[in-house]
């Protein structure tokens, strides 16, 4: 593991690791999970951009802080899941396309010290990159319909 580019505070309690360990909070619950395998978990994100509702986070099931520390084989597994989620979003949401993003370090807008990739539904003129400062946490009942659509897709296509 490369600690050269680490910003994870000492004693950091990772919210994604807690979630995977079965300790949900008001921002993440088991019902948000849309896809999971031995390497990765994909769930409807608790924080949405104003015009890109229902975006999904894909995380490795093991804790790696950022792209510098995740082993290549684990990175490949994350992006295999990203592709599956992208296809599921495109197939089930009424969207025009998808975008993926992955952030590292404070200057790269990383705000959780556990590697994760975003998969966003895209709509013509949605201004995803201009609306980052308008993101907000959303309640579980707003996330539920998106998670249900994606779980149904994965059930039907497994």
What domains lie within the chain, and their CATH numbers?
Answer: 15-156 (3.30.428.10)
pLDDT at 134: 66
Distance CA 120, CA 146 (A): 12
Single out the residue of 107, 105, 103, 92 nearest to residue 44, CA to CA: 92
Distance CA 55, CA 62 (A): 22
Which residues contact residue 98 at a Cβ distance below 8 angstroms, ignoring those fewer than 6 apart? 86, 89, 90, 119, 120, 121, 122
Distance CA 158, CA 99 (A): 23
* Residues found in the chain: 158
Rounded to two decimals, the pTM is: 0.94
**Kindly report the CA angle at 55 between 69 and 83, in degrees rounded to 5?**
60
Q: pLDDT tens, position by position, for the chain (158 residues)? A: 556 799 999 999 999 999 999 997 878 889 999 999 999 999 999 998 889 999 999 999 999 999 999 999 999 999 999 999 999 999 999 999 999 999 999 999 899 999 999 999 999 999 988 876 667 899 999 999 999 999 999 999 98
Contact 108, 81 (CB under 8 A): no
pLDDT at 136: 86
Residue 98: strand, helix, or coil: strand
pLDDT at 50: 86
C-alpha separations of 61 from 27, 39, 42, 49 in Å: 18, 5, 10, 25
Residue 23: strand, helix, or coil: coil
Residue with tokens 């949605």, as numbered in its chain: 126
C-alpha separations of 96 from 20, 93, 127, 147 in Å: 31, 9, 13, 19
pLDDT at 3: 65
């Amino acid at each position: 593991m490369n600690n050269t580019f680490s910003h994870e505070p000492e004693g950091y309690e990772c919210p994604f690791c807690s979630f995977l360990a079965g300790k949900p909070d008001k921002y993440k619950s088991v019902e948000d999970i849309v896809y999971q395998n031995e390497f990765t978990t994909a769930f409807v994100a608790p924080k949405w951009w104003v015009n890109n509702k229902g975006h999904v986070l894909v995380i490795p099931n093991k804790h790696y802080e950022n792209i510098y520390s995740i082993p290549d084989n684990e990175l490949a597994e994350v992006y295999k899941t990203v592709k599956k989620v992208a296809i599921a979003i495109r197939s089930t949401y009424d969207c025009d396309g998808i975008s993926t993003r992955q952030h590292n370090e404070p200057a790269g807008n990383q705000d959780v010290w556990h590697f994760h990739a975003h998969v966003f539904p895209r709509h013509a003129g949605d201004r995803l990159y201009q609306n980052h400062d308008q993101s907000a946490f959303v309640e579980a009942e707003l996330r539920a319909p998106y998670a249900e659509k994606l779980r149904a897709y994965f059930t039907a296509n497994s």
